[in-house]
């Protein structure tokens, strides 16, 4: 491909690592957790910060609502979502909080999630249930369920009291791709609303949000779509849009959804406004080329690390840039020990990875991004077995 210069940075495969400001002393194999913002998007955001600080009253008072709406239309178009039925929010956890806060849950109502769900979402549901008297029903699933098993388990957990089903499109701890379109279709006749937690979808997989049929869909653009952190799209079906209550009531309250959700006073909106530059960077590299590179490299990384540990990894879905490798028995069996092991791998070996427990089994989650190469995973495969053996 011929290179492009964006914000003074040459963006092309030959020097793609130079598009990121990551510490070269660390091997970054955990893009899925916090992402990494390309330098062009960093510079675009800094230019916006400079504009904001040069005249703060003008930045917030003159045209900001229209600028946010323009950005929203751009991001919604990339994701196949209705721009008039979508709002920009900080992350998927905030989108989940907006849904939960708009449910009017009561004693005896039920909210259904799965064991693969994200920890912060689980905590949010538990907090709502503690306040309202509702019941949190967690659907048990094996670490690597089939699509049929997922659909049967989730639909089988729904009762006449179910007020909401929350399903991951890509599960964070296990890197499983769930059949969300089948689930929304199966639950539609019962009138049970579905919230799709798509934190890892934008940029990693092609998606048409409107075609999924979910009542709510929220995905982060600051992971695989290169946007500055604090950028997510929250899409809402028409029947729910005017029922969504903002977490903070501010000046656009009377404007209705989505402006009443997006307007939060002197919030720093520069991550949102810089997000189109991030997407332009992704498109300049080539969206499909990036996805293919990342998926193939993640599969390779999983294979070589699993072989080094002498374990059989679960098959990953085609196209995913995250894969998991089971850790030896007794390691990372709970959240605290998983967090401690991740930190030791980073501090003592120099590799940033994700470590999560699932049913008492530690899972090493590896991500792949354009700044990675095969040797990153080969070096981890060389060093990790001896390190883990020393811990046990």
Mean pLDDT on 332-358: 96
Give per-residue pLDDT as tens, 3-47.
Answer: 665 565 556 667 888 899 999 999 999 999 999 999 999 999 999
| pLDDT at residue 45, as a whole number | 98
The pLDDT confidence band at residue 2, using thresholds 50, 70 and 90, is: very low
Which alpha helices (DSSP H) does 179-237 contain, by range?
180-187, 209-212
The pLDDT confidence band at residue 86, using thresholds 50, 70 and 90, is: very high
- Answer whether residue 162 shows pLDDT above 50: yes
Domains of the chain: 4-36+286-391 (3.90.1150.10), 46-280 (3.40.640.10)
Length of the chain in terms of residues written: 392
- How many Cβ atoms from other residues are within 10 Å of residue 21's Cβ? 11
Q: Higher model confidence: residue 75 or residue 7?
A: 75
State the pTM of this model. 0.94
| pLDDT at residue 11, as a whole number | 62
The Cβ-side half-sphere exposure at 110, using a 13 Å CA radius, reads 14
362 beta partners: 357
263 beta partners: none
């Amino acid at each position: 491909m011929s290179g492009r210069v964006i914000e003074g940075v040459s963006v092309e495969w030959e020097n793609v690592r130079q598009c990121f400001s990551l510490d070269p002393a660390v091997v970054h194999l955990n893009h899925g957790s916090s992402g990494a913002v390309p330098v062009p998007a960093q510079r675009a955001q800094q230019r916006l910060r400079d504009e904001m600080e040069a005249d703060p009253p003008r930045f917030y008072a003159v045209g900001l609502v229209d600028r946010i709406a323009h950005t929203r239309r751009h991001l919604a178009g990339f994701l196949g979502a209705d721009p008039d039925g979508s709002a920009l929010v900080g992350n998927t956890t905030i989108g989940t909080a907006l849904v939960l806060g708009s449910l009017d849950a009561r004693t005896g109502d039920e909210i259904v999630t799965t064991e693969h769900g994200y920890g912060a979402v689980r905590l949010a549901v538990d907090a709502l249930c503690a306040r309202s008297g509702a019941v949190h029903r967690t659907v048990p699933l094996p670490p690597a369920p089939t699509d049929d098993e997922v659909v049967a388990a989730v639909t089988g957990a729904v009762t006449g009291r179910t007020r909401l089903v929350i399903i991951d499109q890509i599960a964070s701890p296990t890197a499983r791709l769930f059949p969300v379109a089948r689930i929304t279709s199966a639950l539609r006749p019962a009138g049970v609303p579905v919230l799709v937690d798509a934190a890892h979808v934008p940029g990693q997989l092609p998606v048409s949000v409107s075609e999924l049929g979910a009542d709510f869909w929220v995905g982060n653009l600051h992971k695989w779509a290169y946007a500055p952190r604090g950028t997510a799209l929250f899409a809402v079906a028409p029947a729910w849009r005017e029922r969504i209550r903002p977490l903070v009531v501010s000046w656009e309250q009377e404007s209705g959804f989505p402006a009443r959700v997006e307007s939060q006073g002197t919030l720093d909106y520069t991550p949102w406004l810089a997000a189109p530059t991030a997407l332009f960077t992704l498109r300049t590299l080539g969206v499909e080329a990036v996805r293919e590179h990342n998926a193939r490299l993640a599969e390779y990384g999983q294979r070589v690390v699993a072989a080094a540990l002498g374990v059989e990894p679960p098959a990953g879905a085609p196209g995913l840039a995250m894969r998991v490798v089971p850790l030896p028995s007794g390691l990372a069996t709970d959240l605290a020990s998983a967090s401690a092991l991740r930190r030791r791998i980073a501090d003592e070996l120099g590799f940033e990875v994700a470590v999560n427990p699932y049913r008492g089994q530690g899972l090493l989650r590896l991500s792949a991004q354009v700044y990675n190469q095969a040797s990153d995973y080969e070096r981890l495969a060389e060093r990790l077995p001896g390190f883990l053996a020393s811990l046990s």
